[in-house]
Amino acid sequence: MANSFEPKILAFLCNWCSYAGADLAGVSRLQYPPNIRVIRVMCSGTVSPHHLIHAFQKGADGVLVAGCHIGDCHYLKGNYMTLKRITFVEELLRFAGYDPARLHLEWISAAEGIKFAETVRAFTAEIRSMGPAPTFEATPRLALSA
């Protein structure tokens, strides 16, 4: 059954760059795997760790966060916070025993439709090779056995 595994990837795309980049990939008829579910956010800096960890908990196999390049942020410095936060959350996930490679940050501008398609292709392939994500939810059953 291993080859029937289709990864579920949640993508948080910033409204000003990456979402437009995805749009460009679309109108340019670029092919990329249909495994991503896109959520448009106003700035990649608004993506809270709540959203990232909740996604993993609800069974996302990978989470992609994409925003404007450093210096191009519509809100001037929002993506600096993204970079700090994602780097931190990756390390925290590692300490919690969760593979941080399932969380990916990429800067994709509105002109980079090709980069968007490539990023999705590469990330989907990576998640596919990693297999389904482990359950990341505390359940009462485990408490009894521990």
Partner 1 sequence: MNTKIKTLLEQGQVAGFFAYKRIHGVWYPYLFTKSELDQLEPWQPFKSRYPIAKLLLAKARQNPDQTFGVLVRGCEERALREIFKWNQLDPNRVVMVGQACTEDLAQTCECAKPFPDQLNYGSAPAGVGRQRRVAELEAKADGERMQWWLSHFNRCIRCYGCRDVCPVCFCTICSLEQSDVAPTGKLPPDTSFHLVRAVHMAGRCVDCGLCEEVCPAGIPLRALYKKVNSLVADLFDYRTGADDGRSPFTFLGDESRLPAGLR
Q: Which residues bind partner 1 (CB under 8 A)?
A: 45, 48-51, 53-54, 57, 70, 76-78, 80-81, 83-85, 87-89, 91-99, 105-107, 134, 136-140, 142-143, 145-146
Of 109, 129, 130, residue with least CA distance to 119: 109
Residue (28 or 87) nearer to partner 1, CB: 87
We find the least distance from the C-beta atom of residue 106 to partner 1, in angstroms, to be 7
Residue (26 or 70) nearer to partner 1, CB: 70
Of 91, 22, 102, residue with least CA distance to 60: 102
C-alpha to C-alpha distances, 3 to 9, 36, 63, 69, 128, nearest whole angstrom: 17, 18, 21, 35, 9
Of 116, 90, 84, 118, residue with least CA distance to 103: 90
Residue (7 or 78) nearer to partner 1, CB: 78
We find the least distance from the C-beta atom of residue 113 to partner 1, in angstroms, to be 18
We find the least distance from the C-beta atom of residue 87 to partner 1, in angstroms, to be 5
Residue (39 or 81) nearer to partner 1, CB: 81
The secondary structure of residue 144, as a DSSP letter, is: H
How many helices (H) and strands (E) are present in the chain, helices listed first?
Answer: 5, 4
Residue (26 or 57) nearer to partner 1, CB: 57
We find the least distance from the C-beta atom of residue 33 to partner 1, in angstroms, to be 22
Q: How far apart are CA 14 and CA 39, in angstroms?
A: 9
We find the least distance from the C-beta atom of residue 72 to partner 1, in angstroms, to be 12
